[in-house]
Amino acid sequence: MKTAVHLEIVVAFLFALAGPVRSAVPPPVSADPLGRVATLPPTASPHWVWVNDFVFPHMPDGQAILVDGDSGRFLGMLSTGFGFSRLVLAKDGKIVFSPETYFSRGTRGTRTDVVTMYDPARLAPIGEIVIPPKRASSMPMMGDSELTDDGRFLLIYNFTPAQSITVVDAKAHQLVGEIETSGCALVYPTGPRSFFSICADGSLLNVRLDDAGKATAQDRTAKMFDVAHDPVTEKGVRVGSTWHFVSYSGVMYPVNITPAGLALGPRWSLLTADDKAQQWRPGGLQQLAVHSGLNRLYSIMHRGGPETHKDPGKEVWVYDLATHARLQRMTLQNDSGAIQVTHDSKPLLFSAFIGSTTLDVYDATSGAWLRSVQNVGTTPTILVTP
Amino acid sequence: MKWLDSLTEGSTRAVARRTSRRGFLGSLGGFLVGTSGLPLLPVARGAQPTPDQGGTPAKPGAKPDNSQDPTSCEYWRHCAIDGYLCGCCGGSQSSCPPGTEQSAVTWVGTCHNPADGRDYVVSYNDCCGKSTCGRCLCNRNERDTPIYVPFESNDYNWCSGSSKANIPYHCSTARIVAVAK
């Protein structure tokens, strides 16, 4: 009996507990308004990255995908047309420029090339500038399009296969014209009104512009690179007044921007004798990155023979650009064909590979792996950071 | 422009004897390697297309001789090809698939035919005007130069400006031009 009484008390207690719980059921979820669209903060985080994708299996459908390196969150995307190369971010961060190609019937009809301007907060087009339908169709590279140092002019490489550079006024949002660069390719800015292109014989074409964006002078340097035996790749990176290029075999060629013109600095090698004996060499589509504040160079490395200069790597080697000392060997989670380092004081290193849809994020100072973001694009190529 | 003339088929024959590149998809050599898990060797980039891609299946056991199989990356004419094989896309090693246009400007290579012991000049004309075929990707990076040396670079889309269909790249052929002398 005593047990039965205790049981009644317990049951009553449980009902007493359950009662208030039943009455605390939250109100129904309210209806969502129609038409809500997310926006981004007006100022980009230095830890965001644009993953540019030329979507090789479906080239009319180029994409640029924005990812937050701190959270790994997929923030949004742009649709960027046929044979897409990469976005160019305005220096003040207020416009995203995108050289694009379209056909009036998808893959046929009239070809129209434009620079589409996007609002970086809404990721929506706010205007376009029609440019000559000559934009180069090639494996994407940073040198396909660049802004002059002051952000005034956007320079776009053309290949028809005649070579030239289209000049766009990035402030007035209008086409300026075209500069012939016969025998020379790509764009490497050297100041507010100047850039160079690399020529087939290993010399550089130095071009100067006036305030209207017209070419006022062109001159060719002496041969700087050994095109026949060990050419430098097109994947140069810049710190201050020096462009750094690397050869297939890992020799660094610093090109200094001086008042007297372009001057080749002392060459140095990424590789020791032991490294060479083990067949280490640089490779990849965007194989070099730099951090200006730390004055460091990052290079994707792999082991392979002489014709593996575009192969991905599982390591990134870090160098002090002042002493040329190798500071670190980063071991990567996955194959890497493209790296980019953020510009801030706590930099991240992003890594992607055209044969994978995983974006990896590392601490660029310690080399520690932070996170991987899955399903980013289709064939990711070039990484661009604010 | 003289340098442009040098890109045309006839005048590139001499160039073809000293090099063996043409193409657009060089960086996808790594793509092939990455997706197939093959070792990072140039020869590995001649990956055998799988049967579901339209390629001839590899025989088990000993390494097969695919040098006479036009749907194989190891086909003798493909010594310098770089792209999707048109033979897997409705065309053949020498003809474009229906409804595409063959590019006029191209890169050429010199390939050795083990069946007759001769070297041939092979022209790798791209077929243009449709989206990418997506079948039988074949790529080797032999003697590839950066794109500032256009006529020896595998990173350009050679449909560029050289086809009535303009730049949409579909696949690549491997036409015999002549016996190399």
Cα separation of B133 and B89, whole Å?
6
Using the Cβ of A40 and the Cβ atoms of chain B, whether some distance falls under 8 Å is answered with: no
**Do A336 and A375 meet the contact criterion of CB atoms below 8 Å apart?**
no
Chain B: residue whose CA lies nearest to A61: B131
**Sequence-distant (≥ 6) Cβ neighbours of residue A34 within 8 angstroms:** none
- E strand or H helix at B18: helix B13-18
**Do B153 and B109 meet the contact criterion of CB atoms below 8 Å apart?**
no
- Does residue A145 share a domain with residue A83? yes
Q: What percent of chain A has pLDDT over 90?
A: 90
SS3 content of chain B, % helix, strand, coil (to 5): 20, 20, 60
Tokens of A18: 């359950």
Domain contains A30: no
Is the four-CA dihedral B49, B55, B61, B63 of positive or negative sign? negative
Using the Cβ of A107 and the Cβ atoms of chain B, whether some distance falls under 8 Å is answered with: yes
Q: Is the Cβ pair B155, A108 closer than 8 Å?
A: no
CATH number of the domain at B2-39+67-179, out of 3.40.605.10, 3.40.50.970, 3.40.50.300, 2.60.30.10?
Answer: 2.60.30.10
- Does residue A151 share a domain with residue A181? yes
How does residue B62 score in pLDDT terms, banded at 50, 70 and 90? Answer: low
Q: What is the pLDDT of residues A49-85, one digit of tens each?
A: 999 999 988 999 999 999 999 999 999 999 999 999 9
The pLDDT mean for chain A works out to 94
Q: What percent of chain A has pLDDT over 70?
A: 94
Using the Cβ of A237 and the Cβ atoms of chain B, whether some distance falls under 8 Å is answered with: no
Which of A138, A158, A300, A315 to mutate to test binding with chain B, by most B CBs within 10 Å of its CB?
A138
- Cα angle value A36/A39/A45 (rounded, 5°): 160
- Does residue A369 share a domain with residue A265? yes
Q: Which of A137, A284, A304 sits opposite B167 (nearest CB)?
A: A137
Which chain A residues have a beta carbon less than 8 Å from that of B106? none
Domain contains A21: no
Domain contains A4: no
Q: What percent of chain B has pLDDT over 70?
A: 61
- Does residue A274 share a domain with residue A143? no
Domain contains A92: yes
Using the Cβ of A162 and the Cβ atoms of chain B, whether some distance falls under 8 Å is answered with: yes
User: Hey, which residues does A174 pair with through a beta bridge?
Assistant: A169
- Does residue A264 share a domain with residue A244? yes
Q: What is the pLDDT of residues A346-383, one digit of tens each?
A: 999 999 999 999 999 999 999 999 999 999 999 999 99
Cα separation of A216 and A208, whole Å?
6
Which chain A residues have a beta carbon less than 8 Å from that of B42? 305, 307-308
Which of B9, B101, B141, B147 to mutate to test binding with chain A, by most A CBs within 10 Å of its CB?
B147
Cα separation of A348 and A386, whole Å?
12
Cα separation of A279 and A305, whole Å?
7
Which of A307, A314, A353, A357 to mutate to test binding with chain B, by most B CBs within 10 Å of its CB?
A307
Task: Give the pLDDT confidence score for residue B81 in this predicted structure.
Answer: 81
Domain contains A100: yes
- Does residue A376 share a domain with residue A342? yes
Which chain B residues have a beta carbon less than 8 Å from that of A233? 146
**Sequence-distant (≥ 6) Cβ neighbours of residue A92 within 8 angstroms:** A151
Which of B3, B22, B27 to mutate to test binding with chain A, by most A CBs within 10 Å of its CB?
B27
Cα separation of A228 and B19, whole Å?
12
Domain end call among A223, A243, A258: A223
CATH of the domain at A259: 2.130.10.10
Candidates A374, A299, A290, A294; CA nearest to A332 is: A299
Which chain A residues have a beta carbon less than 8 Å from that of B144? 307, 309-310
Candidates A379, A386, A383, A345; CA nearest to A61 is: A379
Closest Cα of chain A to B15: distance in Å? Answer: 13
Distance of CA A132 to the CA centre of its chain: 24
Q: Is the Cβ pair A355, B32 closer than 8 Å?
A: yes
Task: Give the pLDDT confidence score for residue A238 in this predicted structure.
Answer: 98
**Do B24 and B154 meet the contact criterion of CB atoms below 8 Å apart?**
yes
Own/partner long-range contacts of B58-63 (Cβ < 8 Å, ≥24 apart): none
Q: Is the Cβ pair B150, A161 closer than 8 Å?
A: yes
- Cα angle value A261/A91/A322 (rounded, 5°): 50
Phi/psi-derived region of residue A131, left when phi > 0, alpha when psi is between -120 and 50, beta in every other case: beta
- Does residue A121 share a domain with residue A101? yes
Q: Is the pLDDT of residue B61 over 90?
A: no
How does residue A22 score in pLDDT terms, banded at 50, 70 and 90? Answer: low
User: Hey, which residues does B109 pair with through a beta bridge?
Assistant: B122
Domain end call among A188, A223, A258: A223
Kindly report the pTM of this predicted structure.
Answer: 0.85
- Does residue A313 share a domain with residue A276? yes
Domain end call among A201, A223, A245: A223
Q: Is the Cβ pair B169, A137 closer than 8 Å?
A: yes
- Does residue A271 share a domain with residue A130? no
Q: Is the Cβ pair A138, B7 closer than 8 Å?
A: no
Task: Give the pLDDT confidence score for residue A292 in this predicted structure.
Answer: 98
Closest Cα of chain A to B70: distance in Å? Answer: 22
Q: Is the Cβ pair A56, B28 closer than 8 Å?
A: yes
Domain contains A27: no
Cα separation of A49 and A244, whole Å?
22
DSSP for A88-156 reads EE-TTSS-EEEEEEEETTSSSS-EEEEEEEEETTTTEEEEEEEE-TTB--BS--GGGEEE-TTS-EEEE
Q: Is the Cβ pair A199, B27 closer than 8 Å?
A: no
Task: Give the pLDDT confidence score for residue A13 in this predicted structure.
Answer: 52
Using the Cβ of A187 and the Cβ atoms of chain B, whether some distance falls under 8 Å is answered with: no
Residues of B marked as catalytic? 107, 126
- Does residue A185 share a domain with residue A324? no
Q: Is the Cβ pair A309, B144 closer than 8 Å?
A: yes
The amino acid sitting at A228 is: A
- Does residue A363 share a domain with residue A282? yes
- Residue A344, CA distances (Å) to A77, A364, A372, A384 in order: 23, 11, 20, 14
Mean pLDDT of B128-147: 85
Q: Is the Cβ pair B4, A162 closer than 8 Å?
A: yes
- Residue A152, CA distances (Å) to A143, A187, A323, A343 in order: 17, 15, 34, 21
Q: What is the pLDDT of residues A23-45, one digit of tens each?
A: 689 999 999 999 999 999 999 99
Q: Is the Cβ pair B146, A232 closer than 8 Å?
A: yes
How does residue A262 score in pLDDT terms, banded at 50, 70 and 90? Answer: very high
**Do A201 and B150 meet the contact criterion of CB atoms below 8 Å apart?**
no
Tokens of A300: 């994707």
Using the Cβ of A116 and the Cβ atoms of chain B, whether some distance falls under 8 Å is answered with: no
Which chain A residues have a beta carbon less than 8 Å from that of B34? 312, 335, 353-356
Region of poorest pLDDT, from A118-132, A299-313, A327-341, B49-63 = B49-63
Q: What is the pLDDT of residues A136-178, one digit of tens each?
A: 999 999 999 999 999 999 999 999 989 999 999 999 999 999 9
Q: Which of A289-303, B2-16, B24-38, B111-125 has the highest mean pLDDT?
A: A289-303
Quickly list H helices, chain A.
2-23, 273-277
Residue boundaries of the structural domains of chain B: 2-39+67-179
Which chain A residues have a beta carbon less than 8 Å from that of B131? 58-60, 107
Q: Is the pLDDT of residue B57 over 80?
A: no
Tokens of A168: 């766009």
Question: Which domain covers residue A365, as residue numbers?
Answer: 229-386
Which chain A residues have a beta carbon less than 8 Å from that of B79? none
Cα separation of B170 and A59, whole Å?
10
Give ipTM to 2 decimals. 0.89
Which chain B residues have a beta carbon less than 8 Å from that of A200? 3, 148-150
Candidates A324, A322, A350; CA nearest to A337 is: A350
Task: Give the pLDDT confidence score for residue A17 in this predicted structure.
Answer: 52
**Do B46 and B74 meet the contact criterion of CB atoms below 8 Å apart?**
yes
Q: Is the Cβ pair B1, A184 closer than 8 Å?
A: no
Cα separation of A54 and A82, whole Å?
8
Interface A:B, Cβ pairs < 8 A: 154
Q: Is the Cβ pair B146, A234 closer than 8 Å?
A: yes
State how many domains chain A has.
2
Task: Give the pLDDT confidence score for residue A324 in this predicted structure.
Answer: 98
- Does residue A381 share a domain with residue A233? yes
